[in-house]
Amino acid sequence: MSSSNGSSASNKGDFLLSPIPNWQESWTASQASGTAMAMTVQDCFVMFLRSPSTNVYKPVYTTTTSKTELKYGLHVERIEREYQHKVSVQYAPSWFSIGSHSLCCMTGLALDVEHTSRVLQRKVDDHLNIYQTSMKTHVMTQKLASVLHNECLGKGGRPFGVQCMILGCDDIDPNDGSLCIYSIDPSGSWQNWGKASAIGKFGTEVRRTLANKLVSSPTTITDLEDGVSCLIGSWKETCQEMGISKKDNDDYEVLILQKHPTNRLKSNLFRIPTDEVDRITEKVDSNLFSDGKEDKKKKKLL
């Protein structure tokens, strides 16, 4: 009897049989959803994606070379976008390239993320086949928001448990000339954030921290490494303020989407290697540690 209990305890992952494929991944995504953050830096988007589970960001893309190249002072890997209209979304993707100039990040229920990503991909492919041109990012946002809204209000249905963030190099904010960031909630309501935004777990708190950092900054962030540090620092500061214990095995990925210098309907996609992200993260941690020491000294003096 005791050996049976020990065996069942050791096989925690198999304690439930479910007709849902990849049930464990779905459970993880549902109970401990990830976070996606993005901000504009010059003609680029910088995206920071974080998941509470390791090995989430599987190689669903190919790099043009095994070597890294230098981009604005950062070592990056160029992601091949040759087959950008081919349906190649992985199971419950945290992010995927869409069209010629856009990228979509999603968080929430894994099976809903998978279905929603395929719906968006199909609409973009249909537009390409009919009009022989990529769908604009603003139109993508409207189409996907309409799907989520109809499902939310449909009789006998339920809202999709997903949050979406769509970034595109073709849309420019006429007020300040910055690239546009769109977010969509499960009800189908969408919003243009302009400079920066975040979705997913603690998305509201992260947005508040990120906004405070950008407003309090004496100068506009124009360096990519400073942009990455700002996003990582915003996440870590949010965790500190809310008393959240961060896991050491959180899975991070940082992407850069750059507007094509000559063709506004194209873009270049890069990934910052893990060792480069670790270097920036260590620098952010040391700055937070030193700031914490200064705060303690001030409190003692008061």
pLDDT digits (tens, 9 = 90+) for 201-255: 889 999 999 999 999 887 888 889 999 999 999 999 998 888 876 655 567 889 9
Question: In this structure, is residue 20 part of a structural domain?
Answer: no
DSSP 184-200: E-TTS-EEE-TTEEEEE
For every one of its 302 residues, what pLDDT tens digit does the chain have, with 9 covering 90 and above?
444 444 444 444 443 444 545 544 554 444 446 899 999 998 899 999 987 765 555 545 555 555 567 777 788 988 876 444 444 444 567 888 888 889 999 988 888 888 999 999 999 999 999 999 889 999 999 999 999 999 988 877 788 989 999 999 887 776 766 788 999 999 999 999 988 999 998 899 999 999 999 998 878 888 899 999 999 999 999 988 888 766 555 678 899 999 887 776 678 899 999 899 999 999 998 888 776 555 554 444 45
The pLDDT score that the predictor gives to residue 259 is 86
Please report the pLDDT score of residue 64 as a whole number.
52
Q: How many other C-beta atoms lie within 10 A of the C-beta of residue 172? A: 14
Structure tokens at 187: 């009800």
CA proximity to 166, closest of 206, 124, 137, 196? 137
- Alpha helix (H) ranges present in the chain? 2-10, 23-31, 110-131, 137-153, 203-216, 224-242, 274-301
List, in order, residues 6 or more apart from 288 with CB less than 8 Å away.
233, 236, 237, 240
- In whole angstroms, give the CA distance from residue 193 to residue 117: 21
Rounded to whole angstroms, how far apart are CA atoms 272 and 145?
A: 30
Q: How far is CA 7 from the centre of its chain?
A: 38
Within a domain: 143 = yes
Domain holding 82: CATH number? 3.60.20.10
* Beta carbons of 42 and 220 less than 8 angstroms apart: no
How many separate domains does the chain show? 1
Tell me, yes or no, whether 61 lies in a domain: yes
Per the structure block, which two tokens stand in for 99? 């069209």
Backbone φ/ψ region at 108: left (φ over 0), alpha (ψ -120 to 50), beta = left
Answer yes or no: is 237 within a domain. yes
| Exposure class string for 16-50: b at 16+ Cβ within 10 A, else e | eeeeeeeeebbbbbeeebbbbbbbbbbebbbbbbb
Distance between first and last Cα of the chain: 62
Residue 8 lies in a domain: no
The C-alpha atoms of residue 73 and residue 78 are separated, in whole angstroms, by 15
The DSSP output letter for 63 is B
- Domain extent, residue 133, equals 32-291
DSSP code for 243: T
232 in a domain, yes or no?
Answer: yes
The rounded distance, in Å, linking the Cα atoms of 178 and 191 is 15
Is 72 inside a domain boundary? Answer: yes
| Residue 19 counted as domain residue | no
Q: For residue 165, what pLDDT is reported?
A: 96
